[in-house]
Chains A and B, each alone.
Chain A
């Protein structure tokens, strides 16, 4: 899409805003609608938009596929590790009271933050990985046919 000047300029402005919004949805999910799933999707949209308007190669330079594949697993691991950690602290699996026993509700805050982050990482990475997989194959339609 080398010739679409307006698209390229607007995308450059929007990608940052989309990422910022993703972080807002991620970390403000305790107080407003949203959470890991939605934030992950929005974050992935930022990368995918960049990939569509510029090129697959330029987005792969920003967010290399090996990192994406590692992050897919890292999110689930972070989630499960939160649960295992609370078990090591003497509480049941995924009981976030364990993190601050003197003040259980702030322990809950930390726990929810950690698991939502895990969800967000996995969802972002999976969406971007699926997009890479689809866009990486040679298309049968040329640009003019659209």
Chain B
């Protein structure tokens, strides 16, 4: 096999590769403008090496001199590649607005090359077409009229001849200008891009074209402008190299970024076989070269060596093909396998995300980067208030809460296109979505419950959503829901934990409000107990030592339970303590507290409060009861009295007035203060502890010390409830007169 034939084969393979790339891109979607332009460009690019191959074969066969100029010059057809490239640079990655408006500009781009082709194919010898001398010979009037025509024709034919003589140099410069412009436009287009993936691809194309331009310049411009002589074979090689790099980069990026979601098997095998063919060519070339080399060195043919080369070739061929196969799969072609990879990647990623914002970011990123969706909107229902919110990665959109479209969406259980909707097309949400170019809606369901949707705009590639896309989106939405629910639960548990911690602090604060040490006196004995049903409670008691030596006793119960009640307790505590600076009567103290409370609470919140002052010297208790459970007085002689005098509960009625009463105590008299949480304790049989039971206990045990009596009552209540948790806070204060 001759070297020239081998070179021709390599050219041919290059040409066929480019041709097939063109066909592949065209067959993907022949209506796509970018596809048409790219494949035509690849056809032109492919025709270059193919013509070169034929030229080489002819030369090898010694037929070059005998073939006509037409067949030699048809070679220049490939140079239509340059205007086509320029056109490509004007529609990729973003279509040039000028070109969109002025379609005729396209023709202008092609004019020089078409003219040149006509020139080299038909007009290279204008004199053959028109016999000018016959025109010159016309005499008389005809001659007079024809004279300027003859002159013009003469001028034209002369200029055509001049152009023809220098067309190689001339078009080298034109082609280079086209290349330069193409690179410029591509560069500009790339700069405007924001999508990183597209940008990388556009950069790859720009890089490829630049390298191609460099090689082409070395092959044609350098020899044309300098006296440097470059052998034809090298020039062809350089040109074909340039074509391969330039077109290859374009084909690569077009395939890589457009062919994400169609059947790849065909393409894969095509590219695979083409690369195999190329590789095979290279192997043969190498083997022939090596054989020739060995033959020259050894002076004769050694058949055993050739067999050795063959084994070596097979030995090397397999792993390299395997490697190419991998590379092709990994870099060039992405398809169904991609979906599996994406799903796997996505579920792996989101399973560990417990932050809602991060989760949203991840799904946005997955849809934008992997599915090449231009913009993604997410609409989600807030579990707490049932309201839907619509947002994208960087903005929030609003729509009325009762939008009918949401009701309509609830009925959809699969992804659908917005324009499929037959009604609800005039709602604000529909308008917001269509204004944001949302195209596809993917409903999100959490165990049959509609919780929102993804709104996707068209793909960056302009391609349609395929059936596989919709299936994938459905799966992604399901995966998203699982992660979303997990994240939500986690967030809630965090919040709960935080509240628990805060409540613990509140509990400490509330415990701090209780008297730390009980006042001691010769004439009385005190004990107290309080237990909130929750972390913090609405019960409150206090002992205050007055300046006149008397003892202030307060017990209060804020309505409700938990934090709101605890806040009221703080208010009561602060108000009561503030009153102690003045020498108010208990009724005045209560009245003042009522006014303070009234101005700060609303919505039927209130507190009951008993406040009394016991003078140990006179043994007199003056008190005012603002709607609190009547404290029970057990006299030494077992007589029972209730401390009822006072007025309305504190809070709702600022104008309420309060009465006061004074009662005299004797030694061994006992006053039992409590909150209703004590008597309203329930047992298993739904019976209430009740006042009667309490009275009975008090009467029976009136002789115990304050502390003992307290322990006894608390024990009785606990026995009664028998493990049933406290429904309400309960508090006991016992004052015994000694």
Asked if A pairs with B, the answer is: no
Task: Identify the A interface with B (CB < 8 A).
Answer: none
Q: Which residues of B come within 8 Å of A, CB atoms?
A: none
